[in-house]
Amino acid sequence: MEPNPTRFQDRRQFVKALLLALPALSLAPRLLTAAPRRMNELSLAFIASSLPLVRRAAWADRRPNTGRLRVAGYFSRITIHHSGARVLRATDRGRVVQALNEILAAHQRIRYGDLGYHLAIDCAGRVWEGRSLSYEGAHVSGENPGNIGVMLLGNFEKQKPSSPQLDTLATLVGLLRKQFDIPARRVYGHRDIGSSVCPGRYLYPFVVSLKRNTPPRALV
């Protein structure tokens, strides 16, 4: 803050105080410049250029509680999930929006601050933006740093993923791997790094094939 001349008895004291304050004033812009960059400075154009992408603002009923979120500085792996619970085969936009908002509300009730997953894929093959890539996800207990969470709507213990879902998943994983320089061996199913059957018996073999970089087309 600039010194107030009324606080000083004469001009000499004021000039002396101003000279003492100049180093701090000149340092302020450099401190702002040195602040760490957030991942939200990254455009999602690299996804939207190849896949139908619905941004969060177009579907979410609730705002994220950023006070409960942790800034993400890097990404080095991808984990695939299913939504689980009930079977879901909806392709109409309204039903998908309802399902995503139900998951969002449930995640905020358990104090995640926001949807736990960064991206979701519906049965029509659309990609939905979830938690911003600005922040760490909340999708694998103890394994969230550097970990992009991708969730497919459906319970793949009970149903098979749709062909559009698998096609989109393969493309999306490829785009994320390229964008963040993530090797194929760092693509996981939830069960690989957490205590879970997720992403379900009908989706997990496809995840294994993504890890091997040879996705099969005969799972549906």
- Are 182 and 200 spatial neighbours (Cβ–Cβ below 8 Å)? no
Domain edges within the chain: 5-34, 39-211
Give the 3-state secondary structure of residue 212. Answer: coil
CATH superfamily, with its number, for domain 39-211: Peptidoglycan recognition protein-like (3.40.80.10)
List average pLDDT for each run of 10 residues in the chain, which is 220 residues long.
45 51 40 38 86 96 92 95 94 96 95 95 98 94 96 97 97 97 97 96 97 65
Query: What DSSP assignment string belongs to 117-150?
Result: -SEEE-TT--EEE-S-TTB---SSTT--TTEEEE
pLDDT value of position 217 = 54
Nearest-5° Cα angle at 88, 68 to 164: 95
Name every residue whose Cβ is closer than 8 Å to that of residue 119 and which is 6 or more positions away in sequence.
Answer: 47, 127, 128, 129, 130, 148, 149, 150, 151, 172
Name every residue whose Cβ is closer than 8 Å to that of residue 192 and which is 6 or more positions away in sequence.
Answer: 79
Distance CA 129, CA 23 (A): 44
